[in-house]
Amino acid sequence: MEKLISRYFRPGHTYWMADYERDEGYEQARAVFDKYDAKSLIDEVKKANLRGLGGAGFPAGVKWSFVPQDTGKPVYLVVNADEGEPGTFKDKYIIRHVPHLLLEGIIIAAYANNVHKAYIYIRGEYVQPYLILKKALEEAYAKGYLGRNIFGKGYDLEVVIHRGAGAYICGEETGLLESLEGKQGKPRLKPPFPAVVGLFGCPTVINNVETLSYLPFILRRGAEWFADLGSEKNGGMRLFSVSGHVEKPGVYELPMGVPLSEIIYTHAGGIRGGRELKAVVPGGLSAAILRADEIGVGMDFDQLRALGTMAGSAGVIVMDNTTCMVTALMVTMRFYAHESCGQCSPCREGTGWVYRILKRICEGHGRAADIDNMADICSFMGGTTICALADGAAMPLRSYPQKFRPEFEAFIEKRRTEIETDGSGELSHGLPKRGTQARAIL
């Protein structure tokens, strides 16, 4: 199987400047100034069907074509390296193994959008990746590939790395912009969209690390070749982060539209210990859960949406038949309750409320009405808020009890009986003690 980005993923190895240049590195960034003007470059990326790989899947070239170039203000490029979606770790691989690929992608995207200043917003916990990126940046400046008059082409481009400080919501693009302006990372009401009013009030392009890292390949081999690698309207390949109950967790680069079953069984080595598959989260924690009988689905933005879930960040979390879905949902909702920025009542109250209900259920005090109550809460959380965190929380909240309703019902009933008979209601972190059903997951 052909590899693009991941062909640079050699364990324990970083492609520094000399290495990368020996391997086609910076050829496209150097050539782009002569081969294209901004418009033809954007057209090329449109033709490649390159989708935004941070989670939303918006076509990159189309997004770029929305950026107004006549406002008299500078245009900024902001690189989203916040990588906060649980189950996702691929941007870290890119930065760790081939930071210059990202920098080359940044140069190409900057040129397409007439950008002379870019910021890379990297999550605060990524200390080693940050140091690698910083060193690569210094190499690129030293070579004259960044800074003034890059490649001697009369084009200036400054790149600044900015470290986040531990907040999932700063991965949301407008929360990120607020954070980058020195404020709390509270998302902005849209419109206006960042393409028009973004960083410091100026037009701003925001793209994920992986999205930008595919640009050199599109220029190396052509937009049509890239588009043909993938499925309809979903160009190329993407990096699937696979974790959980599989034999070989890791990052797998596969064509858009690859069947989920192939990812799990052919590439990730199947379920650990030969157990049976129970459920899969296909696109990061915020994607609706799939049952084992749904893994025939092709993994692209459109096919997963048609199935009521989403491709998201391509974080594939696999669960075997020892998993307690009630506890898994409790752990999931605890995350959103913790990470909601608190601006919108449906999100702030809804996530906390549901988490407390689930915690109570796990503690053995569930009530039959809880399941429908949660569905009610869920119905006012989606689509009523400033950002998509609430929709992301609503996806698992709706899908787990829908797809595993008998298990939720049995849990509520059985745990209560168990508690009544043996009195073992004692807990740590809101999780039932060993030997009870819920412990299966832990």
Partner 1 sequence: MNHAWTPEIKNELDAIVAKYETKRAPILEILRTLQERFGYITKETEAAVGKYLEIPAINVREVMTFYTLFYAKPRGKKCLRVCRTLTCALLGAADLVEHAEQKLGIKAGETTPDGEYSLYAVECLGACEIAPMMQVDDDEYVGAVTKEKIDQVIKR
Q: Report the interface residues with partner 1, using CB under 8 A.
A: 83-89, 91-92, 123-128, 158, 160, 162-168, 179-185, 200, 241-245, 249-251, 281, 285, 315, 317, 319, 323, 327-328, 331-332, 334-335, 338-339, 428-429, 431, 441-442
We find the least distance from the C-beta atom of residue 122 to ligand FMN, in angstroms, to be 10
Residues that bind ligand SF4 (CB under 6 A): 169, 187, 340-344, 347-348, 385-387, 389-390
Q: Which is nearer to ligand SF4, 234 or 340 (CB)?
A: 340
Q: Which is nearer to ligand SF4, 205 or 344 (CB)?
A: 344
Q: Which is nearer to ligand SF4, 101 or 393 (CB)?
A: 393
99 binds, among partner 1, ligand SF4, ligand FMN, none (CB under 5 to 8 A by kind): none
Q: Binding of ligand FMN at residue 84 (CB under 6 A)?
A: yes
Q: Binding of ligand FMN at residue 303 (CB under 6 A)?
A: no
Q: Binding of ligand FMN at residue 54 (CB under 6 A)?
A: yes
Chosen residue from 77, 371, 378, 389 binding ligand FMN by CB under 6 A = 389
Reduce the secondary structure of the chain to three states and give it as a string: CCCCHHHHCCCCCCCCHHHHHHCCCCHHHHHHHHHCCHHHHHHHHHHCCCECCCCCCCEHHHHHHCCCCCCCCCEEEEEEECCCCCCCCHHHHHHHHCHHHHHHHHHHHHHHCCEEEEEEEECCCCHHHHHHHHHHHHHHHHHCCCECCHHHCCCCEEEEEEECCCCHHHHCHHHHHHHHCCCCCCCCCCCCCCCCCCHHHCCEEEEEHHHHHCHHHHHHHCHHHHHHHCECCECCEEEEEEEECECCCEEEEEECCCEHHHHHHHHCCCEHHHCCEEEEECCCCCCCCEEHHHCCCECCHHHHHHCCCCCCCCEEEEEECCCCHHHHHHHHHHHHHHHCCCCCHHHHHHHHHHHHHHHHHHHHHCCCCHHHHHHHHHHHHCCCCCCCHHHHHHHHHHHHHHHCHHHHHHHHHHHHHHHHHHCCCCEECCEECCCCHHHHHC
We find the least distance from the C-beta atom of residue 63 to ligand FMN, in angstroms, to be 6
We find the least distance from the C-beta atom of residue 223 to partner 1, in angstroms, to be 31
323 binds, among partner 1, ligand FMN, ligand SF4, none (CB under 5 to 8 A by kind): partner 1
211 binds, among ligand FMN, partner 1, ligand SF4, none (CB under 5 to 8 A by kind): ligand FMN
343 binds, among ligand FMN, partner 1, ligand SF4, none (CB under 5 to 8 A by kind): ligand SF4
We find the least distance from the C-beta atom of residue 372 to partner 1, in angstroms, to be 24
207 binds, among partner 1, ligand SF4, ligand FMN, none (CB under 5 to 8 A by kind): ligand FMN
Contacts to ligand FMN by CB under 6 A: 52-56, 58, 80, 82-85, 169, 171-173, 206-208, 211, 387-389, 392
